[in-house]
Amino acid sequence: MIELYCDESRQDLFYNRNVISDTNKYIFIGGVMINRENRIEIKNKINELKQKYGLNIKTELKWNRVTKRYLSLYKEMIDIYVNYDINFRTICIDSNKIDLKYHNDNAELGFYKFYYQLLNNWISRNMKYTIYTDIKTYSDPNVLNDLKRCLNNKNHPNSIEKIYAIESHESVFLQLEDILMGATSYKMNFGKDGNSKIKLELIDYIETKLGHELAPTNKSATKFNLFEIRL
């Protein structure tokens, strides 16, 4: 059984076009993939890391909480990602090019169409998956069931067993995903002009560990896969 932990970054750009700028235009939807049999080992490793730095295991690690004081902790989180069987994939959408007329003028519908693209091109028909997403308020309460149905109807019969919405503070894997996506979003939106030297240092650390920049990758890349959707 494979588990996917998915979230998004700057999704507000679907709804609020007035805040789009040269350094705030790329929307990201992505996730981390793990084998269920490795979940407990990796979870324990991350919780041990929190305790090493004097944090309660319930403390939520997030990209927005990267500070000088805990930079070493976040670097060690990246070490866990690199050293264990954890894959990260994200799609990148230029919000300037989104035309909601192709989504019935419904931003939520458009958002989940892109969510579908992320997952449909990631999962395999011969595997079983459980998907966890960060909980949020939906205008359509059936949106996750519809997403599951669409995925199972399109070349992946019965691959998706369940999609759950959970709070990010409940899952160390959503927290890891938030860090990886936050770094990728920061790099793609700001380039090297971000105003946080600490976050730029962490990005540099991630790129050094991966051996390449946080930039669009080859389609076949597995450990870190970034696909920029061309609209």
Report the C-alpha gap between 121 and 114 in whole angstroms.
11
Contact 159, 151 (CB under 8 A): yes
How far apart CA 153 and CA 3 sit, in angstroms, is: 19
Domain 2-229 has CATH 3.30.420.10: yes
Cα–Cα distance between 89 and 221 in angstroms, integer?
A: 9
State residue 156's pLDDT score.
Answer: 84
- Provide the pLDDT for residue 135: 82
The pLDDT-based confidence of 11 (bands split at 50, 70, 90) is: confident
Task: Give Cα separations from 33 to 12, 23, 25, 53, 202 (angstroms).
Answer: 25, 29, 26, 26, 22
96 dihedral zone (left: phi>0; alpha: psi -120 to 50; beta): alpha
29 Cβ partners below 8 Å, 6+ apart? 6, 7, 8, 9, 11, 90, 91, 93, 111, 114, 115, 118
Structure confidence by residue, pLDDT tens digits, 195-225: 999 999 999 999 999 999 999 999 899 999 9
Q: Which amino acid is it at 156?
A: H
- Cα–Cα nearest to 173, from 12, 45, 1, 18: 45
Closest listed residue to residue 231, CA positions, set 122, 110, 143, 61: 110
Domain spans in the chain, listed from the N-terminal domain onward: 2-229
For 170-200, what is each residue's pLDDT tens digit?
A: 999 999 999 999 999 999 999 888 899 999 9
Angle at the Cα of 212 from the Cα atoms of 210 and 217, rounded to 5 degrees: 105
Q: Which alpha helices (DSSP H) does 35-171 contain, by range? A: 39-52, 71-83, 107-120, 143-153
pLDDT of residue 105: 64
- Strands 129-134 and 87-94: what pairing? unpaired
Which phi and psi (to 5°) does residue 211 adopt? 85, 15
Question: What percent of the chain lies above the pLDDT cut of 90?
Answer: 70
Give me the helix-helix angle, 107-120 and 143-153, nearest 10°. Answer: 40
What size, in residues, is the chain? 231
Please name which of 53, 41, 130, 30 lies closest in space to residue 84, comparing C-alpha atoms. Answer: 41
Each residue's pLDDT tens digit, 63-104 = 999 999 999 999 999 999 999 999 999 999 998 888 766 666
